[in-house]
Amino acid sequence: MLLLLFCLCDGSRTAASPGFLRLPAQTRTARRPHVTAARLSLNSLIASVDKTRKRRCAQRLPRTVFIIDTATDMNGITKGRFEVFSNSDEALINKKLPKELLLRIFSFLDVVTLCRCAQVSKAWNVLALDGSNWQKIDLFNFQTDIEGRVVENISKRCGGFLRQLSLRGCLSVGDASMKTFAQNCRNIEHLNLNGCTKITDSTCVSLSKFCSKLRHLDLTSCVSITNHALKALSEGCRMLENLNLSWCDQITSDGIEALSRGCTSVKALFLRGCTQLDDTALKHLQKHCPELMIINMQSCTQITDDGFVSLCRGCHKLQMVCVSGCSNITDASLTVTDNTLVQLSIHCPRLQALSLSHCELITDDGIRHLSSSVCGQDRLQVVELDNCPLITDITLEHLKSCQRLERIELYDCQQVTRAGIKRIRAHLPEIKVHAYFAPVTPPPSVHGGGQRLCRCCVIL
């Protein structure tokens, strides 16, 4: 960690100080420079580096290198071979390995290791700090030390190479540094600003102007974000696919409308704790965001059944929906009926597996619509119908047309018979049918004196 903090210091771009991570110099301290990082504050450490850089660089590499080669002879005695190399041989690795190969090796290193490599020599400093090695940067582990100047220096050094940056928890980063970042890193695709509470709408305006390739943006707990930010993103970041606005409680349905009209390719939207959103927001998503697959509306207390149903009607690719804490959502919008199967058969032609466990309103007619659809005849492989009391053998007759069907679950379907299962197995010999039939209740005792019990019952 001590070596990494040296990399964050102000100073010239020498082997001991990667320039793009420089922090502003602070007041010098009278403490000795070799005191550990645990005892020195970051500001004291920064102030002491300039004074000791030359001495530390001289001490970093040894004057000689000893290579020990051990071997065991026939008598089991281990012997050692020592070879001594002078400083003139230390640069052999740079001569033997081409720069392209070293650069490729550096591309697999993390931020900490790259900073350490940058201190080995001038040649390694150039290679380690090459922009191509800094396409993905996660500064979460150093969040308390990261200031705006660090972000600005990173952006100037990495420029168009940077694709992913995480500033999660970096409380000192504000709009000014993010504006410089947006101007320099125009190819950024993933940006995590989770918990950066100084971020406001101004940052989103900057991203809109300069970062048109942005696909993933996390603004969780950026409580100053308003509808103006969403309007800006909708105008300049039209490739946005994943947006996290959790706990941005100033956002209203007007902001979601602007976002949905501009960012029609959005696939994942996280709106936890956006308490001002209502059904109108979901209706805008239904109209303009057909690619939506994941939506989290946890604790959006103004959302009702009407908005939820509207969303489902327009967003046919939905895979995950969270409505926990939405106290106005009732069973009315979640109850599965035959009409649900009709809509699935029309709008989900690629459906392969369907679980209808405990959907007690499903009847044979609903299964008829499903089995006669495109997905039923060409795609459907698994159907789970356990605890559907209205299902009968007629359902199994309908499912015969599902040529790719591999498995059916029929536990506790009281009206399904063994004869019906036998018929579908004859038509689809590879199918697996999982069913359960309760044992027949034995007849009463001849003498009538004993307690009558079912065979499956046990006296405890």
The alpha-helical segments, DSSP class H, found in 8-75 are: 42-60
Q: Domains of the chain: which residue ranges? A: 131-333, 338-435
Q: What is the rounded distance in angstroms from the CA atom of residue 160 to the CA atom of residue 216? A: 17
Q: What is the rounded distance in angstroms from the CA atom of residue 180 to the CA atom of residue 202? A: 12
Name the one residue in this structure whose structure tokens are 């359960």.
Answer: 436
The alpha-helical segments, DSSP class H, found in 107-263 are: 111-117, 122-128, 148-158, 175-184, 201-210, 227-236, 253-262
* pLDDT at residue 444, rounded to an integer: 60
- Predicted TM-score (pTM) of this structure: 0.64
3-state secondary structure of 210: helix
Where does residue 160 rank: exposed (0-12), middle (13-18), buried (19+ CB within 10 A)? exposed
Q: What is the rounded distance in angstroms from the CA atom of residue 145 to the CA atom of residue 154? A: 14
> What tens-digit pLDDT sequence spans the chain (460 residues)?
333 333 433 333 433 344 445 444 443 334 444 333 333 344 443 444 444 454 554 455 444 444 445 555 555 555 555 444 444 544 667 777 888 888 888 888 887 888 888 888 888 888 888 878 889 999 988 878 889 999 998 899 888 899 999 999 999 999 999 999 999 999 999 999 999 999 999 999 999 999 999 999 999 999 999 999 999 999 999 999 999 999 999 999 999 999 999 999 999 999 999 999 999 999 999 999 999 999 999 999 999 999 998 998 889 888 888 988 999 998 788 888 998 899 888 888 888 999 898 899 999 999 999 999 999 999 999 999 999 999 999 999 999 999 999 999 999 899 999 999 999 999 999 999 999 877 766 666 555 555 555 545 544 3
Helix (H) or strand (E) holding 357: none
Phi, psi of 79 (to 5 degrees): -120, 150
Q: Is 179 in contact with 207 (CB distance < 8 Å)?
A: no
CATH 3.40.50.300 for domain 338-435: no
Q: What is the rounded distance in angstroms from the CA atom of residue 291 to the CA atom of residue 219? A: 21
Length of the chain: 460
Task: Give CATH for domain 131-333.
Answer: 3.80.10.10
Q: How many CA atoms lie within 13 A of 100 on its CB side?
A: 0
Q: What are the beta bridge partners of residue 217? A: 191, 243
Neighbours of 155 (CB within 10 A): 23
Task: Check the CA dihedral 271-273-275-278 and report its sign.
Answer: positive
* pLDDT at residue 76, rounded to an integer: 55
**Could you please report the per-residue DSSP string of 215-233?**
-EEE-TT-TT--HHHHHHH
Strands 65-72 and 78-85 come out as antiparallel
C-alpha distances (whole Å) from 186 to each of 20, 113, 214 are 17, 26, 9
Instruction: Report residue 288 as tokens.
Output: 């303009």
